[in-house]
Structure 1
């Protein structure tokens, strides 16, 4: 695990950085086995009131199983789950202060929008006048009041998603669980809906736990992210911290794009470390110390946008550290940025991204250009696992 320091700019007033803050959801060493298969392996996690917490991981990582245990649809093999200080081990789903929004939305096709949203309240025997007001209020909040009489098949995907969200919220749960809530939407609509979801959560002050496999979605939505792999949470942190200070190589590679250089610790000082890397073809200096044995094998993670790229020229001096040469073997023009694939002299392929701040194509790098890559000592992170 990297021992890099997290920047002080992250607020210390957030509850997870306050030692005496009381978690709203407390998961204590929860394990779930299905026969010989362990889906969730001794997970402990604290989630605080009014958070929008994302469980992020690939297929089979255990995130949906953990969500279903929070909802009460699965029972832990061992461990316990507390919500607002109450042990939920023997409390059925319908008696928990929890609601769940499924990926499929599960709307009743024969009912109108307002009837779908009102269904749960009517089943609970809420007075008709109160049902009408609460349904109208929540439909206005999700901007669907004008579509209250329509049936689900008359709505767009984004509108159906908001109906399902309104139905989940109208019962005023203390905790809302969302399983891949935006997975059925196209990219543009998904991006728009992410901000809408954040607005609604902030307005209502309900604690949200969202399961997703989409890294960008988690980075956009979350107050904090719990990254899962093989049934274990491998890092829990704010989005900025997960991206800039990954705890291990898995997190570094799973969140966004990253270049990993293998190497050996050559010089370990209190506030810096130098790695000799055959992958990079030279020395990498990082401006933070690490806890390791002499000559330990490590990896250095550098994000593509942290690399500077320039054509090789006689007046461009080579640095002894954080500098390597290569040749562009592929280019992708993405409008706002260009992506370059560079093959280093060592044979390793490196990804570099560069913003297209100029409309001129005269000085743009292209295929087969010989280039030099450089980066600052604070742009990389040393990983020991």
Structure 2
């Protein structure tokens, strides 16, 4: 691993809060459990979320992420454990008294009220002076770029516009914590991508802590300062997006986040700065540029992302980290091409290559015999 000769100076002022050893969490979830009869929805979850974070709870259906969010909001009570927000234990605090607001996937707008009236509804219920309500509503509608549509009703708006109204209604009460349950699920792909950046901009401008629940890996990777990956009611990894992708801590995370090729093998050497794994699927050794602290002859999984693998018609000069096979599928995606290759062992792997140049030569195609290779720093060893 190469190291730059000049390292940047990182201070606590520039370091993200969650990396600072003495930082106080804004939200502290301590050994939370939630059961419904014999079913455990959330199992002994502990989690710290820091002020001004945009934290994503990511998991599949039934993973427990929405139940955890509802407990933060106060709509569900924990079976055991505690939730502390801004230093206050929320155990006996009802939803309407928590410094929290929640934006639902359905948006839940009042169809008979205008955009302006929908956003003002909560403020009026609090009995705020009409002048203050009007000003705060106008300010937040301008921030979400909906001021020019203030007099319209929800049925006159597009899906993206309704989403912005729901967001404005959630933000106008200035909560310390905003919870968003699948907030972009109803939008089409292009609008969803645009709105992701809009959410990030708003969160940065307002400085409110966001907790977003999503099942969409790309959405979580785009939005989050950190991701908590959930499975079977547990948080199995909490890290920044690039760490979750590049260094998954178990097989579930590796397979759930993006695409991955997994190879089963036996550890044959393990030194401080190198390791080697005998792999029948590649008919050779998988070499790593770091140690893995495994027992001799231990069976492990080696994860290699598709974009880390090279594909060519000629073999590489390297003795290790290589395989050969036949292309069985090709997908040209514009910015990239995806190849499925059946190795000599019969295992099928996926390779992704960027189309960074306009190729005028002969492209790799179905039934081509090809050779794969990858670098020693491209593999991640998974022992669980």
Do the structures match in fold with TM over 0.5?
A: yes
Q: What do the CA deviations read for 1:44-88 (whole angstroms, capped 9, x no partner)?
A: 000000000000000000000000000000000000000001000
TM-aligned CA deviation for residue 339 of structure 1: 0.2
SS in 1 for 2:377: helix
Which residue of the other structure, out of 264, 273, 276, is the alignment partner of 2:275? 273
Task: State the TM-score, normalized to the length of structure 1.
Answer: 0.96
Q: Distance in 2 between matches of 1:50 and 1:10?
A: 23
Q: 1:338·1:356 contact (CA, 8 Å) conserved in 2?
A: yes
Which residue of the other structure, out of 288, 291, 312, is the alignment partner of 1:289? 291
SS in 1 for 2:287: strand
Matches within 5 A, 1:3-152: 13-152=15-154
5+ residue gaps, structure 2, are none
Distance of aligned partners of 1:384 and 1:256 in 2 relative to their CA distance in 1, 3 Å threshold:
same
Q: 1:267·1:274 contact (CA, 8 Å) conserved in 2?
A: yes
Q: CA RMSD in A?
A: 1.5
> What is residue 179 of structure 2 aligned with on the other side?
177
Distance of aligned partners of 1:150 and 1:10 in 2 relative to their CA distance in 1, 3 Å threshold:
farther
Distance of aligned partners of 1:222 and 1:384 in 2 relative to their CA distance in 1, 3 Å threshold:
same
> What is residue 197 of structure 1 aligned with on the other side?
199
Q: 2:311·2:351 contact (CA, 8 Å) conserved in 1?
A: yes
Q: Which moved more, 1:164-173 or 1:279-288?
A: 279-288
Larger RCO (alpha carbons 8 Å, 6+ apart): 1
Q: 1:332·1:338 contact (CA, 8 Å) conserved in 2?
A: yes
Q: 2:316·2:373 contact (CA, 8 Å) conserved in 1?
A: no
SS in 2 for 1:182: coil
TM-aligned CA deviation for residue 319 of structure 1: 2.6
> What is residue 230 of structure 1 aligned with on the other side?
232
Q: Distance in 2 between matches of 1:95 and 1:39?
A: 25
Q: 1:326·1:343 contact (CA, 8 Å) conserved in 2?
A: yes
5+ residue gaps, structure 1, are none
Q: What do the CA deviations read for 1:207-234 (whole angstroms, capped 9, x no partner)?
A: 0000000000000000000000000000
> What is residue 322 of structure 2 aligned with on the other side?
323
Q: What do the CA deviations read for 1:4-40 (whole angstroms, capped 9, x no partner)?
A: 9xx9989671111111100000000000000000000
Task: State the TM-score, normalized to the length of structure 2.
Answer: 0.96
Query: What is the count of residue pairs matched by the alignment?
Result: 377
Distance of aligned partners of 1:321 and 1:152 in 2 relative to their CA distance in 1, 3 Å threshold:
same
TM-aligned CA deviation for residue 360 of structure 1: 2.6
Q: 1:101·1:165 contact (CA, 8 Å) conserved in 2?
A: yes
Q: 1:52·1:209 contact (CA, 8 Å) conserved in 2?
A: yes
> What is residue 340 of structure 2 aligned with on the other side?
341
TM-aligned CA deviation for residue 338 of structure 1: 0.3
Q: Distance in 1 between matches of 2:354 and 2:320?
A: 24
